[in-house]
Amino acid sequence: MGAETVGSQEKEKVKVEPNNVRKVREGLLLSKAELARRAKLSVLTIDRVEKGMACRMDTKRKIILSLGLKLSDRDKVFKG
């Protein structure tokens, strides 16, 4: 009964960065798969970004452009 599994140990803290990727994507009636295809990223990457996990600048650039926005509109999608 006293044995702990690896999964029950304290989880690594992940930096969360709130963003509007999901809101903008859904407003354009795009699926995660379609956005991933347009951005040449994996669906898993899109999912992680939408959950607020940190990502590289290049990934942000690909997402912004794939949503049909200009890089100058980045504040509409990514805060900060």
Q: DSSP labels for 34-72?
A: HHHHHHT--HHHHHHHHTTB---HHHHHHHHHHTT--GG
Give the pLDDT of residue 23. 96
Q: How confident is the model at residue 73 (pLDDT cuts 50, 70, 90)?
A: very high
For the domain that residue 31 is a member of, what is the CATH number?
A: 1.10.260.40
Residue recorded with tokens 């379609």: 34
* pLDDT computed for residue 28 by the predictor: 98
Task: Say what the pLDDT of residue 8 is.
Answer: 47
Q: Quick check: is 32 in a domain?
A: yes
* Tens-place pLDDT, residues 38-68: 999 999 999 999 999 999 999 999 999 999 9
45 domain-assigned: yes
Total domains in the chain come to 1
Flag whether 10 is in a domain: no
53/14 Cα distance (integer angstroms): 7
Domain hosting 52: range is 16-71
Q: Percent of the chain beyond pLDDT 70?
A: 80
DSSP single-letter state for residue 19: B
pLDDT at 14: 63
